[in-house]
Amino acid sequence: MKTYLLSNTHFLTNLIIQLLYILSLVMLVRSKSVSFTTTLIHRDSPTSPFYDPSLTLSWRVVAAMNRSFDRARVFSSMRSGVTNIFPNPQLANYLMKISIGTPPQDIIGVADTGSDIIWTQCEPCSYCFNQTRPVYKPRVSSTYNTTTCGSTTCMSVPVRSCTTNDNTCLYVVQYGDFSYSSGELATETVTLDSNVTGISFAFTNVVFGCGHRNAGMFTEDQSGIIGLGGGPFSLITQMGSSINGKFSYCLVQMFSHVERSSKMYFGDAATVSGDGVVSTPLFSGNPGTFYYLNFEGITVGGQRIDFYTTKPTLVEGNIIIDSGTSLTLLPESFYNRVQSAVRRSMPDILPVHSDPQNNLRLCYNPLEVKDLPVMVAHFNGADLELDPINTFVQLSNDSICLAFAPVDGVVIFGNLAQMNFLVGYDLYKKTVSFKRTDCVKL
Ligand SMILES: *[C@@H]1O[C@H](CO)[C@@H](O)[C@H](O)[C@H]1NC(C)=O
Ligand SMILES: *[C@@H]1O[C@H](CO)[C@@H](O)[C@H](O)[C@H]1NC(C)=O
Ligand SMILES: *[C@@H]1O[C@H](CO)[C@@H](O)[C@H](O)[C@H]1NC(C)=O
Ligand SMILES: *[C@@H]1O[C@H](CO)[C@@H](O)[C@H](O)[C@H]1NC(C)=O
Ligand SMILES: *[C@@H]1O[C@H](CO)[C@@H](O)[C@H](O)[C@H]1NC(C)=O
Protein backbone atom coordinates (compact mmCIF):
# COMPACT_ATOMS: atom_id res chain seq x y z
CA MET A 1 0.00 0.00 0.00
CA LYS A 2 1.17 3.51 -0.77
CA THR A 3 0.15 6.47 1.27
CA TYR A 4 0.55 10.05 0.21
CA LEU A 5 1.02 12.08 3.33
CA LEU A 6 -0.35 15.58 3.36
CA SER A 7 0.33 17.98 6.08
CA ASN A 8 -1.16 21.25 7.16
CA THR A 9 0.78 21.97 10.33
CA HIS A 10 3.19 20.17 12.64
CA PHE A 11 4.65 18.59 9.56
CA LEU A 12 8.02 17.72 11.02
CA THR A 13 6.75 16.42 14.33
CA ASN A 14 4.33 14.20 12.56
CA LEU A 15 6.86 13.16 10.02
CA ILE A 16 9.05 11.64 12.71
CA ILE A 17 6.15 9.95 14.42
CA GLN A 18 4.87 8.55 11.20
CA LEU A 19 8.21 7.46 9.90
CA LEU A 20 8.01 3.98 11.34
CA TYR A 21 4.68 3.42 9.69
CA ILE A 22 5.76 5.07 6.49
CA LEU A 23 9.04 3.22 6.16
CA SER A 24 7.29 -0.11 6.12
CA LEU A 25 5.30 0.33 2.93
CA VAL A 26 4.52 3.86 2.12
CA MET A 27 5.59 6.51 -0.30
CA LEU A 28 5.79 10.05 0.92
CA VAL A 29 4.78 12.75 -1.49
CA ARG A 30 5.39 16.40 -0.77
CA SER A 31 3.03 17.64 -3.40
CA LYS A 32 0.65 20.25 -2.12
CA SER A 33 -2.48 18.90 -3.70
CA VAL A 34 -3.96 15.50 -4.32
CA SER A 35 -6.50 14.02 -6.63
CA PHE A 36 -8.39 10.85 -5.91
CA THR A 37 -11.66 8.97 -6.02
CA THR A 38 -13.51 7.18 -3.29
CA THR A 39 -16.74 5.26 -2.90
CA LEU A 40 -20.12 6.25 -1.47
CA ILE A 41 -22.25 3.36 -0.26
CA HIS A 42 -26.00 3.88 -0.47
CA ARG A 43 -27.74 3.09 2.82
CA ASP A 44 -30.00 0.55 1.04
CA SER A 45 -27.20 -1.27 -0.75
CA PRO A 46 -26.37 -4.81 0.41
CA THR A 47 -22.95 -3.62 1.68
CA SER A 48 -24.49 -0.93 3.88
CA PRO A 49 -24.89 -1.34 7.66
CA PHE A 50 -28.49 -0.18 7.23
CA TYR A 51 -29.31 -2.91 4.72
CA ASP A 52 -32.33 -5.00 5.63
CA PRO A 53 -33.05 -7.74 3.06
CA SER A 54 -36.59 -8.22 4.38
CA LEU A 55 -37.71 -4.78 3.19
CA THR A 56 -39.45 -4.54 -0.16
CA LEU A 57 -38.34 -2.05 -2.77
CA SER A 58 -41.58 -0.19 -2.34
CA TRP A 59 -41.07 0.09 1.43
CA ARG A 60 -37.56 1.46 0.89
CA VAL A 61 -38.80 4.08 -1.52
CA VAL A 62 -41.56 5.21 0.85
CA ALA A 63 -39.07 5.28 3.72
CA ALA A 64 -36.77 7.51 1.65
CA MET A 65 -39.68 9.90 1.01
CA ASN A 66 -40.46 9.95 4.74
CA ARG A 67 -36.82 10.69 5.54
CA SER A 68 -36.87 13.68 3.20
CA PHE A 69 -39.54 15.39 5.28
CA ASP A 70 -37.87 14.53 8.59
CA ARG A 71 -34.59 15.87 7.28
CA ALA A 72 -36.21 19.08 6.05
CA ARG A 73 -37.62 19.64 9.54
CA VAL A 74 -34.14 19.38 11.07
CA PHE A 75 -32.76 21.71 8.37
CA SER A 76 -35.46 24.21 9.23
CA SER A 77 -34.51 24.29 12.89
CA MET A 78 -30.84 24.60 11.88
CA ARG A 79 -31.75 27.58 9.69
CA SER A 80 -33.82 29.18 12.40
CA GLY A 81 -30.72 29.37 14.58
CA VAL A 82 -30.80 26.19 16.67
CA THR A 83 -27.07 25.50 16.88
CA ASN A 84 -25.34 22.21 17.28
CA ILE A 85 -28.17 20.11 15.88
CA PHE A 86 -27.56 18.05 12.77
CA PRO A 87 -29.80 15.74 10.73
CA ASN A 88 -30.45 12.40 12.40
CA PRO A 89 -27.85 9.80 11.42
CA GLN A 90 -30.69 7.59 10.20
CA LEU A 91 -31.75 10.26 7.73
CA ALA A 92 -28.63 10.31 5.59
CA ASN A 93 -28.41 8.37 2.36
CA TYR A 94 -24.74 7.51 2.00
CA LEU A 95 -21.89 5.99 3.96
CA MET A 96 -18.17 6.17 3.49
CA LYS A 97 -15.12 4.35 4.77
CA ILE A 98 -12.20 6.32 6.14
CA SER A 99 -9.35 5.36 8.46
CA ILE A 100 -8.22 7.23 11.52
CA GLY A 101 -4.88 7.02 13.27
CA THR A 102 -1.40 5.64 12.78
CA PRO A 103 -1.54 2.79 12.00
CA PRO A 104 -4.97 3.35 10.42
CA GLN A 105 -8.13 2.04 12.08
CA ASP A 106 -11.13 1.68 9.75
CA ILE A 107 -14.29 3.71 10.32
CA ILE A 108 -17.57 3.33 8.45
CA GLY A 109 -19.43 6.55 8.89
CA VAL A 110 -22.55 8.19 7.62
CA ALA A 111 -21.26 10.64 4.99
CA ASP A 112 -23.51 13.64 5.14
CA THR A 113 -23.45 16.98 3.32
CA GLY A 114 -25.91 18.22 5.97
CA SER A 115 -23.47 17.67 8.83
CA ASP A 116 -20.14 19.24 9.75
CA ILE A 117 -18.37 17.22 12.36
CA ILE A 118 -16.43 13.97 12.01
CA TRP A 119 -16.69 11.72 15.05
CA THR A 120 -16.28 8.09 15.84
CA GLN A 121 -16.92 5.92 18.86
CA CYS A 122 -13.79 5.94 20.93
CA GLU A 123 -12.29 3.82 23.70
CA PRO A 124 -12.61 3.94 26.63
CA CYS A 125 -16.39 4.01 26.16
CA SER A 126 -18.39 5.45 29.01
CA TYR A 127 -21.43 4.67 26.94
CA CYS A 128 -21.26 3.41 23.38
CA PHE A 129 -23.82 1.85 21.10
CA ASN A 130 -23.05 -1.69 19.95
CA GLN A 131 -20.66 -1.69 17.04
CA THR A 132 -19.67 -4.77 15.06
CA ARG A 133 -16.31 -3.35 13.97
CA PRO A 134 -13.62 -2.68 16.57
CA VAL A 135 -14.08 0.67 18.30
CA TYR A 136 -11.31 3.19 17.56
CA LYS A 137 -8.52 3.08 20.15
CA PRO A 138 -6.59 6.34 20.52
CA ARG A 139 -4.09 4.62 22.79
CA VAL A 140 -2.61 2.54 19.98
CA SER A 141 -2.31 5.50 17.60
CA SER A 142 0.88 7.56 17.51
CA THR A 143 -0.86 10.54 15.94
CA TYR A 144 -3.77 11.03 18.36
CA ASN A 145 -3.71 14.36 20.15
CA THR A 146 -6.30 16.14 22.24
CA THR A 147 -7.06 19.84 21.91
CA THR A 148 -6.89 22.28 24.78
CA CYS A 149 -9.74 24.36 26.12
CA GLY A 150 -8.37 27.77 25.23
CA SER A 151 -7.47 26.80 21.65
CA THR A 152 -9.23 28.44 18.72
CA THR A 153 -10.21 24.93 17.60
CA CYS A 154 -12.03 24.33 20.85
CA MET A 155 -13.61 27.79 20.82
CA SER A 156 -15.15 27.07 17.40
CA VAL A 157 -17.28 24.23 18.77
CA PRO A 158 -20.77 25.51 19.66
CA VAL A 159 -21.30 23.22 22.66
CA ARG A 160 -18.12 22.43 24.56
CA SER A 161 -16.75 21.94 28.03
CA CYS A 162 -13.47 21.27 29.70
CA THR A 163 -11.87 18.54 31.78
CA THR A 164 -10.77 19.86 35.16
CA ASN A 165 -7.56 17.86 35.45
CA ASP A 166 -5.81 18.45 32.14
CA ASN A 167 -7.66 21.22 30.32
CA THR A 168 -8.83 18.96 27.47
CA CYS A 169 -11.57 20.29 25.21
CA LEU A 170 -14.78 18.26 25.23
CA TYR A 171 -17.48 18.47 22.55
CA VAL A 172 -21.14 17.59 22.35
CA VAL A 173 -22.99 17.13 19.07
CA GLN A 174 -26.70 16.42 18.89
CA TYR A 175 -29.05 15.18 16.22
CA GLY A 176 -32.65 15.98 15.46
CA ASP A 177 -33.85 12.71 17.01
CA PHE A 178 -31.93 13.30 20.28
CA SER A 179 -29.10 11.00 19.28
CA TYR A 180 -25.84 12.49 20.45
CA SER A 181 -22.10 12.03 20.69
CA SER A 182 -19.76 13.57 23.22
CA GLY A 183 -16.13 13.14 24.07
CA GLU A 184 -12.72 14.65 23.48
CA LEU A 185 -12.18 17.08 20.65
CA ALA A 186 -9.01 15.65 19.16
CA THR A 187 -6.78 15.69 16.11
CA GLU A 188 -5.67 12.70 14.09
CA THR A 189 -4.37 11.54 10.77
CA VAL A 190 -7.29 10.63 8.52
CA THR A 191 -6.63 8.32 5.60
CA LEU A 192 -8.85 7.86 2.58
CA ASP A 193 -8.38 4.99 0.17
CA SER A 194 -8.45 5.97 -3.44
CA ASN A 195 -10.19 3.92 -6.11
CA VAL A 196 -6.79 2.82 -7.36
CA THR A 197 -6.13 -0.27 -5.29
CA GLY A 198 -3.39 0.14 -2.75
CA ILE A 199 -3.07 3.91 -2.84
CA SER A 200 -4.34 6.02 -0.01
CA PHE A 201 -4.00 9.60 1.11
CA ALA A 202 -3.31 10.68 4.66
CA PHE A 203 -4.37 14.08 6.00
CA THR A 204 -2.71 15.07 9.25
CA ASN A 205 -4.13 16.99 12.20
CA VAL A 206 -7.76 16.57 11.20
CA VAL A 207 -10.03 17.73 14.01
CA PHE A 208 -12.53 15.06 15.01
CA GLY A 209 -14.61 13.91 17.93
CA CYS A 210 -13.35 10.97 19.95
CA GLY A 211 -16.78 9.95 21.21
CA HIS A 212 -16.79 8.38 24.64
CA ARG A 213 -20.54 8.74 25.10
CA ASN A 214 -22.72 8.09 22.07
CA ALA A 215 -26.33 7.07 21.99
CA GLY A 216 -29.42 7.08 19.86
CA MET A 217 -30.40 5.81 16.48
CA PHE A 218 -27.15 4.31 15.27
CA THR A 219 -26.69 0.92 13.67
CA GLU A 220 -24.18 -1.68 14.70
CA ASP A 221 -21.96 -1.59 11.68
CA GLN A 222 -21.56 2.14 11.76
CA SER A 223 -18.84 3.78 13.78
CA GLY A 224 -19.74 7.44 13.54
CA ILE A 225 -20.45 10.38 11.26
CA ILE A 226 -18.36 11.95 8.51
CA GLY A 227 -19.52 15.51 8.01
CA LEU A 228 -19.17 16.73 4.43
CA GLY A 229 -20.88 20.10 4.92
CA GLY A 230 -19.39 23.58 4.67
CA GLY A 231 -18.57 24.13 8.35
CA PRO A 232 -15.00 24.47 9.65
CA PHE A 233 -14.70 20.89 10.95
CA SER A 234 -16.17 19.00 8.03
CA LEU A 235 -13.90 16.59 6.20
CA ILE A 236 -14.20 18.73 3.06
CA THR A 237 -13.24 21.99 4.76
CA GLN A 238 -10.35 20.35 6.57
CA MET A 239 -8.95 18.81 3.39
CA GLY A 240 -9.11 22.38 2.09
CA SER A 241 -6.13 23.38 0.01
CA SER A 242 -4.95 19.77 -0.35
CA ILE A 243 -7.92 19.21 -2.66
CA ASN A 244 -7.86 22.76 -4.05
CA GLY A 245 -11.32 23.23 -2.56
CA LYS A 246 -12.75 20.75 -5.05
CA PHE A 247 -14.98 17.72 -4.65
CA SER A 248 -17.63 16.09 -6.77
CA TYR A 249 -19.95 13.12 -6.73
CA CYS A 250 -21.86 11.01 -9.19
CA LEU A 251 -24.89 9.32 -7.62
CA VAL A 252 -26.11 6.17 -9.36
CA GLN A 253 -29.82 5.91 -10.00
CA MET A 254 -31.42 5.25 -6.66
CA PHE A 255 -33.50 2.15 -5.93
CA SER A 256 -32.87 0.55 -9.33
CA HIS A 257 -29.08 0.54 -8.96
CA VAL A 258 -28.42 0.94 -5.23
CA GLU A 259 -26.22 -2.14 -5.23
CA ARG A 260 -23.73 -0.19 -7.36
CA SER A 261 -21.56 2.22 -5.46
CA SER A 262 -21.60 5.91 -6.21
CA LYS A 263 -18.33 7.79 -6.59
CA MET A 264 -16.92 10.77 -4.84
CA TYR A 265 -13.92 12.69 -6.23
CA PHE A 266 -11.47 15.04 -4.56
CA GLY A 267 -8.95 17.53 -5.94
CA ASP A 268 -8.35 17.72 -9.69
CA ALA A 269 -10.28 14.46 -10.18
CA ALA A 270 -13.33 16.46 -9.08
CA THR A 271 -13.10 18.86 -12.01
CA VAL A 272 -16.26 18.77 -14.11
CA SER A 273 -15.43 19.75 -17.66
CA GLY A 274 -16.20 19.06 -21.29
CA ASP A 275 -19.33 19.23 -23.41
CA GLY A 276 -22.61 19.94 -21.73
CA VAL A 277 -21.28 21.29 -18.43
CA VAL A 278 -23.39 23.98 -16.81
CA SER A 279 -22.23 25.99 -13.78
CA THR A 280 -23.94 28.17 -11.24
CA PRO A 281 -22.62 30.29 -8.35
CA LEU A 282 -22.25 28.65 -4.95
CA PHE A 283 -23.15 30.74 -1.92
CA SER A 284 -22.45 30.36 1.73
CA GLY A 285 -25.22 31.12 4.16
CA ASN A 286 -26.43 30.57 7.65
CA PRO A 287 -25.83 27.91 8.85
CA GLY A 288 -22.52 27.43 7.07
CA THR A 289 -23.17 23.69 6.90
CA PHE A 290 -25.26 23.93 3.78
CA TYR A 291 -24.32 24.56 0.16
CA TYR A 292 -26.60 27.22 -1.30
CA LEU A 293 -27.49 27.93 -4.93
CA ASN A 294 -29.68 30.48 -6.68
CA PHE A 295 -32.78 28.84 -8.03
CA GLU A 296 -34.74 30.72 -10.69
CA GLY A 297 -37.49 28.35 -11.79
CA ILE A 298 -38.53 25.25 -13.69
CA THR A 299 -39.65 24.71 -17.24
CA VAL A 300 -42.21 21.94 -17.80
CA GLY A 301 -43.46 21.08 -21.27
CA GLY A 302 -42.19 24.37 -22.67
CA GLN A 303 -43.80 26.47 -19.96
CA ARG A 304 -41.46 28.32 -17.62
CA ILE A 305 -42.52 28.78 -14.01
CA ASP A 306 -40.48 31.46 -12.29
CA PHE A 307 -39.52 30.89 -8.69
CA TYR A 308 -40.17 34.54 -7.98
CA THR A 309 -43.21 36.26 -9.42
CA THR A 310 -41.53 39.61 -8.87
CA LYS A 311 -37.76 39.41 -9.12
CA PRO A 312 -36.01 40.41 -5.90
CA THR A 313 -33.07 42.76 -6.35
CA LEU A 314 -30.62 40.57 -4.49
CA VAL A 315 -30.81 36.83 -3.98
CA GLU A 316 -27.91 34.95 -2.54
CA GLY A 317 -28.61 31.29 -2.20
CA ASN A 318 -32.32 30.55 -2.01
CA ILE A 319 -32.04 26.75 -2.26
CA ILE A 320 -29.89 24.15 -0.53
CA ILE A 321 -28.29 21.48 -2.69
CA ASP A 322 -28.17 18.33 -0.60
CA SER A 323 -27.06 14.76 -1.25
CA GLY A 324 -29.00 13.33 1.69
CA THR A 325 -32.57 14.46 0.93
CA SER A 326 -34.25 12.41 -1.80
CA LEU A 327 -37.12 14.70 -2.73
CA THR A 328 -36.88 18.21 -4.06
CA LEU A 329 -38.79 20.33 -1.56
CA LEU A 330 -40.40 23.56 -2.71
CA PRO A 331 -42.58 26.30 -1.22
CA GLU A 332 -46.25 25.40 -1.47
CA SER A 333 -47.39 28.06 -3.96
CA PHE A 334 -44.48 27.40 -6.32
CA TYR A 335 -44.97 23.65 -5.96
CA ASN A 336 -48.65 24.03 -6.89
CA ARG A 337 -47.78 25.89 -10.06
CA VAL A 338 -45.23 23.22 -11.02
CA GLN A 339 -47.70 20.43 -10.30
CA SER A 340 -50.35 22.09 -12.49
CA ALA A 341 -47.86 22.49 -15.31
CA VAL A 342 -46.89 18.83 -15.09
CA ARG A 343 -50.58 17.84 -15.25
CA ARG A 344 -51.11 20.09 -18.24
CA SER A 345 -48.16 18.48 -20.01
CA MET A 346 -49.75 15.03 -19.66
CA PRO A 347 -52.82 13.72 -21.53
CA ASP A 348 -56.01 14.98 -19.87
CA ILE A 349 -57.66 11.59 -19.68
CA LEU A 350 -55.03 10.05 -17.39
CA PRO A 351 -56.34 9.50 -13.88
CA VAL A 352 -54.15 10.93 -11.11
CA HIS A 353 -53.97 10.11 -7.43
CA SER A 354 -51.81 10.99 -4.45
CA ASP A 355 -49.76 8.37 -2.65
CA PRO A 356 -51.34 6.66 0.39
CA GLN A 357 -49.23 8.73 2.83
CA ASN A 358 -50.20 11.86 0.93
CA ASN A 359 -46.51 12.81 0.82
CA LEU A 360 -46.52 12.95 -2.96
CA ARG A 361 -49.53 14.55 -4.50
CA LEU A 362 -49.25 13.82 -8.20
CA CYS A 363 -49.08 10.13 -9.05
CA TYR A 364 -49.96 8.18 -12.19
CA ASN A 365 -50.39 4.52 -12.87
CA PRO A 366 -47.12 3.52 -14.60
CA LEU A 367 -48.99 1.20 -16.97
CA GLU A 368 -51.04 4.11 -18.30
CA VAL A 369 -48.22 6.59 -18.72
CA LYS A 370 -46.32 6.58 -21.98
CA ASP A 371 -44.08 9.59 -21.64
CA LEU A 372 -43.19 11.68 -18.68
CA PRO A 373 -42.17 15.27 -19.36
CA VAL A 374 -38.59 16.47 -19.48
CA MET A 375 -38.15 19.43 -17.17
CA VAL A 376 -35.46 22.05 -16.93
CA ALA A 377 -34.35 23.39 -13.56
CA HIS A 378 -33.06 26.93 -13.92
CA PHE A 379 -30.26 28.04 -11.67
CA ASN A 380 -28.41 31.30 -12.05
CA GLY A 381 -26.44 30.72 -15.27
CA ALA A 382 -27.24 27.02 -15.50
CA ASP A 383 -30.18 25.30 -17.16
CA LEU A 384 -30.25 21.73 -15.97
CA GLU A 385 -32.23 19.30 -18.12
CA LEU A 386 -33.90 16.80 -15.80
CA ASP A 387 -34.93 13.39 -17.10
CA PRO A 388 -37.93 11.55 -15.65
CA ILE A 389 -35.51 9.58 -13.39
CA ASN A 390 -34.71 12.92 -11.76
CA THR A 391 -38.26 14.15 -11.37
CA PHE A 392 -40.45 11.07 -10.84
CA VAL A 393 -40.19 8.18 -8.42
CA GLN A 394 -41.94 4.83 -8.64
CA LEU A 395 -43.48 4.16 -5.23
CA SER A 396 -45.19 0.91 -6.13
CA ASN A 397 -46.51 -1.02 -9.10
CA ASP A 398 -49.50 1.33 -9.14
CA SER A 399 -47.83 4.66 -8.56
CA ILE A 400 -45.19 6.75 -10.24
CA CYS A 401 -45.16 10.15 -8.60
CA LEU A 402 -43.71 13.59 -9.08
CA ALA A 403 -40.66 13.59 -6.78
CA PHE A 404 -41.20 17.17 -5.65
CA ALA A 405 -43.18 18.10 -2.57
CA PRO A 406 -44.32 21.26 -0.86
CA VAL A 407 -42.67 22.31 2.41
CA ASP A 408 -42.85 25.09 4.85
CA GLY A 409 -39.31 26.20 5.45
CA VAL A 410 -36.10 25.27 3.71
CA VAL A 411 -36.09 24.75 -0.02
CA ILE A 412 -33.99 21.74 -1.03
CA PHE A 413 -32.70 20.47 -4.36
CA GLY A 414 -32.71 16.77 -3.54
CA ASN A 415 -30.66 13.78 -4.59
CA LEU A 416 -33.15 12.18 -6.99
CA ALA A 417 -32.81 15.34 -9.08
CA GLN A 418 -29.02 14.90 -9.02
CA MET A 419 -28.91 11.21 -10.05
CA ASN A 420 -26.75 10.55 -13.09
CA PHE A 421 -25.14 13.96 -12.96
CA LEU A 422 -21.55 14.55 -12.12
CA VAL A 423 -21.99 17.33 -9.57
CA GLY A 424 -18.80 19.30 -8.90
CA TYR A 425 -18.27 21.81 -6.11
CA ASP A 426 -15.46 24.33 -6.38
CA LEU A 427 -15.26 26.07 -3.02
CA TYR A 428 -12.56 28.51 -4.21
CA LYS A 429 -14.20 29.57 -7.46
CA LYS A 430 -17.54 29.30 -5.66
CA THR A 431 -19.35 27.33 -8.32
CA VAL A 432 -21.31 24.12 -8.63
CA SER A 433 -21.16 22.42 -12.03
CA PHE A 434 -23.33 19.70 -13.46
CA LYS A 435 -22.69 17.27 -16.28
CA ARG A 436 -25.05 14.51 -17.40
CA THR A 437 -23.16 11.27 -16.75
CA ASP A 438 -24.04 7.59 -16.51
CA CYS A 439 -22.73 7.16 -12.97
CA VAL A 440 -22.80 3.35 -13.12
CA LYS A 441 -20.18 3.50 -15.87
CA LEU A 442 -17.65 5.55 -13.88
C1 LIG B 1 -43.92 6.77 6.32
O2 LIG B 1 -44.57 7.71 7.16
C3 LIG B 1 -45.93 7.37 7.42
C4 LIG B 1 -46.58 8.53 8.16
O5 LIG B 1 -45.78 8.93 9.24
C6 LIG B 1 -45.98 6.06 8.20
O7 LIG B 1 -47.31 5.71 8.46
C8 LIG B 1 -45.30 4.97 7.37
O9 LIG B 1 -45.25 3.77 8.10
C10 LIG B 1 -43.90 5.39 6.96
N11 LIG B 1 -43.41 4.39 6.04
C12 LIG B 1 -42.15 3.98 5.99
C13 LIG B 1 -41.84 2.94 5.01
O14 LIG B 1 -41.28 4.44 6.70
C1 LIG C 1 -25.14 -5.17 22.64
O2 LIG C 1 -24.64 -6.45 22.38
C3 LIG C 1 -24.67 -7.31 23.54
C4 LIG C 1 -23.98 -8.61 23.18
O5 LIG C 1 -24.19 -8.97 21.85
C6 LIG C 1 -26.13 -7.50 23.95
O7 LIG C 1 -26.19 -8.32 25.10
C8 LIG C 1 -26.75 -6.15 24.27
O9 LIG C 1 -28.11 -6.32 24.57
C10 LIG C 1 -26.59 -5.22 23.08
N11 LIG C 1 -27.05 -3.90 23.48
C12 LIG C 1 -27.88 -3.18 22.75
C13 LIG C 1 -28.23 -1.85 23.31
O14 LIG C 1 -28.33 -3.57 21.68
C1 LIG D 1 -0.23 17.82 20.72
O2 LIG D 1 -0.70 19.15 20.76
C3 LIG D 1 0.11 19.99 21.56
C4 LIG D 1 -0.60 21.34 21.65
O5 LIG D 1 -0.98 21.78 20.38
C6 LIG D 1 1.50 20.08 20.96
O7 LIG D 1 2.33 20.88 21.75
C8 LIG D 1 2.08 18.68 20.85
O9 LIG D 1 3.32 18.71 20.19
C10 LIG D 1 1.14 17.76 20.08
N11 LIG D 1 1.64 16.39 20.13
C12 LIG D 1 1.70 15.62 19.05
C13 LIG D 1 2.13 14.22 19.30
O14 LIG D 1 1.38 16.02 17.93
C1 LIG E 1 -10.06 6.07 -10.52
O2 LIG E 1 -10.65 7.33 -10.79
C3 LIG E 1 -10.07 8.04 -11.86
C4 LIG E 1 -10.78 9.36 -11.99
O5 LIG E 1 -10.62 10.07 -10.85
C6 LIG E 1 -10.22 7.25 -13.15
O7 LIG E 1 -9.58 7.93 -14.18
C8 LIG E 1 -9.62 5.87 -12.95
O9 LIG E 1 -9.90 5.10 -14.08
C10 LIG E 1 -10.22 5.17 -11.72
N11 LIG E 1 -9.55 3.92 -11.51
C12 LIG E 1 -10.19 2.82 -11.10
C13 LIG E 1 -9.33 1.62 -10.88
O14 LIG E 1 -11.39 2.77 -10.93
C1 LIG F 1 -44.93 -5.60 -8.95
O2 LIG F 1 -44.62 -6.09 -10.23
C3 LIG F 1 -43.60 -7.03 -10.24
C4 LIG F 1 -43.26 -7.35 -11.71
O5 LIG F 1 -44.36 -7.26 -12.53
C6 LIG F 1 -44.04 -8.25 -9.47
O7 LIG F 1 -43.01 -9.22 -9.46
C8 LIG F 1 -44.36 -7.84 -8.04
O9 LIG F 1 -44.86 -8.94 -7.30
C10 LIG F 1 -45.37 -6.73 -8.02
N11 LIG F 1 -45.48 -6.23 -6.66
C12 LIG F 1 -46.66 -6.07 -6.06
C13 LIG F 1 -46.56 -5.55 -4.65
O14 LIG F 1 -47.70 -6.29 -6.58
Per-residue pLDDT of 300-324, as tens digits, reads 989 999 999 777 777 789 999 999 9
* Averaged pLDDT for residues 7-22: 43
Report, in this order, helix, strand and coil percent for the chain, each rounded to 5.
20, 35, 45
Nearest CA to ligand 3 atom 2: 145
User: Do 277 and 137 share a structural domain?
Assistant: no
Cα-to-centroid distance, 56 and ligand 1 (Å): 14
pLDDT, position 193: 87
Cα-to-centroid distance, 397 and ligand 5 (Å): 6
CATH classification at residue 348: 2.40.70.10
User: Do 213 and 81 share a structural domain?
Assistant: yes
* Averaged pLDDT for residues 246-267: 90
pLDDT, position 385: 97
Q: Is 322 a catalytic residue?
A: yes
With respect to residue 113, please indicate whether it lies within any of the assigned structural domains: yes
* Percentage of the chain lying above the pLDDT 90 cut: 71
What residues make up the domain containing 82? 27-250
Q: Are 432 and 440 in contact (CB under 8 A)?
A: no
For residue 183, CA distances in Å to 96, 169, 211, 400 come to 22, 9, 4, 45
pTM of the entire predicted model: 0.90
Chain segment 335-368, per-residue pLDDT in tens: 999 999 999 999 988 899 998 888 899 999 999 9
Which atom of ligand 3 lies at the shortest distance from residue 144's CA? Answer: 13
User: Do 87 and 138 share a structural domain?
Assistant: yes
User: Do 170 and 43 share a structural domain?
Assistant: yes
User: Do 165 and 36 share a structural domain?
Assistant: yes
8 pLDDT higher than 90: no
User: Do 238 and 333 share a structural domain?
Assistant: no
Question: Taking all residues of the chain, what is their mean pLDDT, rounded to a whole number?
Answer: 89
Domains of the chain: total: 2
User: What separation, in Å, do the N-terminal and C-terminal C-alpha atoms of the chain show?
Assistant: 23
pLDDT, position 5: 54
pLDDT, position 4: 58
Q: Which ligand is nearest to the CA of 153?
A: 3
In whole angstroms, what is the distance from residue 185 CA to residue 201 CA?
Answer: 22
CA angle 221, 146, 24 (to 5 degrees): 70
Report the Cα 158 to chain-centroid distance in Å. 21
User: Do 350 and 213 share a structural domain?
Assistant: no
Which atom of ligand 1 lies at the shortest distance from residue 65's CA? Answer: 1
* Averaged pLDDT for residues 90-107: 92
| Pocket lining: 59 vs ligand 1, CB cutoff 6 Å | yes
pLDDT, position 178: 86
